[in-house]
Amino acid sequence: MKKEVKLSSVAFPAPVYIVGTYNEDGTANAMNAAWGGICASDPPSIMVAVRPARKTFENIMNNKAFTINFPNEALMEVSDYIGLISGKKENKIEKAGLKTAKGEEVNAPILTDYPVSLECSLTDKLEVGSHMLFIGEIKRVLADEEVLDENDRIDVGKVGAIGYDPAGRNYILTNKVVGKAFCAGLGMLKKKED
């Protein structure tokens, strides 16, 4: 039986994107964003939605660049902290003891403690109600050697990324593989119509 529940922004799963940008003075800032997702294959592009009041909003507008860094469970505490206070109020990167490296392709800091990071160059933006959608072309994909398989492909099980549950405001694990895409439904595809 379907029931109508409270209207809100829910999706299962939502991601946890730690967005890296540079402040005007060259220090690094980070934001925890759950509103976003991949938005194109060619060129590889990702969207992250940011409220205008955020420090990250100013920084992306100024630098036309950002990084997306994916936290694992070990980085949950520090990633949540990043979401609890504004970069206008404290130097979160320093307080959290996170290391950064300047992007090679874009003017934004890679959070090198995170297992996978994307360097993104701002290509477009769109205002949607409370948020600005920043569209970034993915220029480089960086991963720790420990999360790669023998073909240098990222192994989702090794990344152990956490996601976000907007309904219950929980962090969730997203590393358990249960099937192969473009494969699980082949039997049904080949089934003759009744």
At position 67, the amino acid (one-letter code) is: T
When asked if residue 18 is in the footprint of a copy of itself (CB under 8 A), the reply is: no
Q: Does 150 bind a copy of itself (CB under 8 A)?
A: no
- Each residue 52-91 as x (binds a copy of itself by CB under 8 A) or -, in order, gives ----------------x-x--x--xxxxxxxxxx----x-
Q: What span, in angstroms and rounded, lies between the C-alpha atoms of 80 and 31?
A: 9
Q: Residues 24, 25, 26, 128: which binds a copy of itself (CB under 8 A)?
A: 128
Of 18, 21, 49, 102, which one interacts with a copy of itself (CB under 8 A)? 49
User: What CA–CA distance (Å, rounded) separates 110 from 182?
Assistant: 32
Six-digit token string for 38: 């991949």
| Residue 25 or 191 with smaller CB distance to a copy of itself | 191
> Rounded distance, CA 120 to CA 53, Å?
21
Q: Using the rule CB under 8 A, is 27 a contact of a copy of itself?
A: no
Peptide bond into 52 cis (omega under 30): no
